[in-house]
Amino acid sequence: MKIQLKRAAYDASNILALANIFNFRLHLIRISFLSLCLPFVPLNSWAVGTTAGFTISNTATLSYSIGATVEPSITSLPATFQVDELIQPVLTWQDASAVSVNTPSTNQALTFLLTNSGNGQEAFSLTRTNGPLPLPAGNYTPLDGTIGSLYLENNLQTGFQASGPNADTAYVGGTNDPDLAPDAGQIIYVISDTPTVTNNTQGEVLLSAASLTVGAAGALPGTGLAGLGQGGSFAVVGGTNAQSSATGSYIASGLMLVVNKTVLGTIDPNGGAVVMPGAVMTYQITATLTGTGTAANLVLTDPLPAETTYVPGSITVDGTARTDAIDADNAQFFASTISVSLGDVASPANVVITFRATIN
């Protein structure tokens, strides 16, 4: 009887071991089948949550008893696979509307955002196309900027900075291509000169980003590239063909704005014009618009020097007195600053603002 039980246990152990091997092989067949079917999976079914190159491994354990005897557990061989890298850049134009430029003018910026929507670290090349075809009737073709064609935001100061301590970085292909972690983004500035063109005409620039993984850019969605993904995983081309593009636009307005501030007059405590403590200075600010077009949401601000004290009730706009309070009129004095909100001002226009301050 003992011999029969041992034999039964031995046979059961072998059968279960064979079953484990069969299940493991079946698992591999399923993985291979899914890989073969990948190009036909709908684009929105790809998830980018798990990092590319991550190895997922697990085992199954079978516990059993024969009669009253608890037999040793049987553990399957591990089912192991590596997560592929999905390559999927997304490029978007960030300006709310066409950027207004003078004609002619130089070094005007369009703002774009490149996002790595894949699940692995990926580098991208950048190219620009001026006046992408088909060129709409009446449009002009912007030119590469005098100072450079593409710049990368360095996150030191918001907005394009051409020079100074916070100057953004000129893009040089093959040298400082954006290399982005999953879900990371890079602000890119397209810098253009505007030739002499008719006012109110539009110019467009196409910015393109392409994966630098060999064979990825332009390949069909679902294309697998063995060993080229992060951590030696498969690189899989996403729904954007491992590349993306977006078009931004300028509009030539021919609008020029100039602002000048002068001391219109001085009255000292003795009735003279000596610039001394106690003297009252009358300041005049002139904002001049020439050309054609409209300056939207025009606001003038003037913080007073710490060495002066504002004379209450002294603000005028085009000769008409304004109150200091934040109220219905368009001027105010608050936090040691004169501000005048002029709204949308069509050119040509000339606005004159005056106020007084006493030298401390």
Q: How far is CA 198 from the centre of its chain?
A: 31
Q: What is the pLDDT of residues 52-106, one digit of tens each?
A: 888 899 999 999 899 999 999 999 999 988 899 999 999 999 998 899 888 888 9
pLDDT number for residue 347: 84
- The CATH H-level (homologous superfamily) assignment of domain 87-252 is Immunoglobulins (2.60.40.10)
Dihedrals φ, ψ of 174, to 5°?
85, -10
Rounded to a whole number of angstroms, the CA Rg of the chain reads 35
Helix H or strand E encompassing 2: helix 2-37
pLDDT number for residue 48: 52
The rounded distance, in Å, linking the Cα atoms of 145 and 251 is: 16
Q: What is the pLDDT of residues 16-30, one digit of tens each?
A: 443 443 343 333 333
The rounded distance, in Å, linking the Cα atoms of 351 and 329 is: 15
Looking at the chain, which residues constitute the CATH 2.60.40.740 domain(s)? 256-359
Looking at the chain, which residues constitute the CATH 2.60.40.10 domain(s)? 87-252
- Specify the fold of 256-359: Immunoglobulin-like (2.60.40)
The rounded distance, in Å, linking the Cα atoms of 126 and 112 is: 11
pLDDT number for residue 20: 43
Mean pLDDT computed over 34-53: 51
Provide the mean pLDDT of the chain: 86
Given the DSSP bridges, would you call strands 179-180 and 235-237 parallel, antiparallel or unpaired? Answer: unpaired
180's CB contacts (< 8 A; 6+ apart) are 114, 115, 116, 121, 122, 123, 124, 186
Q: What is the pLDDT of residues 344-358, one digit of tens each?
A: 888 889 999 999 999
pLDDT band of residue 9 (cuts 50, 70, 90) is very low
Which DSSP string corresponds to 279-296?
Answer: PEEEEEEEEEEEESSEEE
Tokens of 137: 């009737």
